[in-house]
Amino acid sequence: MSRVVVRSFSVSLDGFGAGPDQNLEHPLGVNGHEMFQWFMSTRTWNQMQGKEGGETGPEDDFAARGFENLGAWILGRNMFGPVRGPWPDDSWKGWWGEEPPYHTPVFVLTNYEREPLVMQGGTEFRFITGGIEEALAQAKAAAGEKDVRIGGGVATIRQYLAAGLIDELHLAISPALLGRGEHLLHGLDLRALGYECVQHVAGTRAVAHVVLRKTTPS
């Protein structure tokens, strides 16, 4: 049965899912990369870069799990790139080069129409202007029995959480302190929305893994 999931989403100790001042030089915001040190040490990360080696253990287990049984992704526009406003042209094709790591249809939330973008390795970016529910409907249709992963960013995950549309959420809580940025859970009553913690694992790289699951209707 298809589920809507968030996987391997890093959060700072003070609750931010992205640092301030996101731009081409700082795609995760200033100091945002500090939250992802756990992921970048893993064998899964190295394999994504075409490299050998990398650490195994809890971090790699969660990193690898994040790519299992996926049939589609949903991204906010900020996750796709730093371009704002109407698309000036089709030159920006994402952060990932000619072969992005998704290998499925990826539905990008935007206010501005753009033709689908077919990339190497099976990734196709489709740009959705009708909001989160339209994107989810199209993603579920594309995914079939497989899961739909909400890849971020923070604003996109918050919208799907507030609507009670996420079935399971894995957060990697990093000891990094960002001070400013985009707060992930501020103002969201997850208990009232029907979520509870179903798993917590102490990592080996000063990171805590927490899995939240929607167990009751919101």
Does 94 fall in a domain?
no
Identify the CA nearest to 7 among candidates 215, 199, 206, 205.
199
Residue 9 pLDDT: 96
Q: Record the pTM.
A: 0.94
Name the token pair of 66: 């994040």
**Residue 48 confidence (pLDDT) above 90:** no
Question: Does residue 208 lie in a domain region?
Answer: yes
**CATH at 54:** 3.40.430.10
Total number of domains in the chain: 1
Output b/e per residue, 168-177; b: 16+ Cβ within 10 A. Answer: bbbbbbbebe
The pLDDT of residue 124 is above 90:
yes
* 89 assigned to some structural domain: no
Residues above pLDDT 90, as percent of the chain: 77
90 found inside a domain: no
3-state secondary structure 177-193: CCCCCEECCCCCCCCCC
Instruction: Determine the Cα–Cα distance for residues 183 and 192; give it in Å rounded to an integer.
Output: 19
Q: Which of 95-99, 117-121, 197-201 has the lowest mean pLDDT?
A: 95-99
Indicate if the pLDDT at residue 64 is higher than 80: yes
The answer as to whether 194 is a domain residue is yes
Q: Is residue 88 part of a domain?
A: no
Q: Indicate whether 58 belongs to any domain.
A: yes
Q: What's the mean pLDDT in 15-36?
A: 88
Place 51 in a pLDDT band, splitting at 50, 70 and 90: confident
**Strands 117-118 and 124-128: what pairing?**
antiparallel
Model confidence at 218, in pLDDT bands (50, 70, 90)? Answer: low
pLDDT at 95: 87
Give me the DSSP letters along 35-103.
GGHHHHTBHHHHHHTT----B-SHHHHHHHHTTTTEEEEEEEHHHH-S--SS---S----SSTTS-S--
Task: Assign 205 a pLDDT band (cuts: 50, 70, 90).
Answer: confident
* Any domain includes 87: no
Residue at 210: amino acid letter: V
Domain that holds residue 165: 4-18+27-79+99-214
Query: Helices 154-162 and 132-143: crossing angle, nearest 10°?
Result: 90
Yes or no: say if 48 and 99 are a contact pair by the CB < 8 Å rule: no
Please give the Cα distance from 90 to 187 (Å, whole number): 37
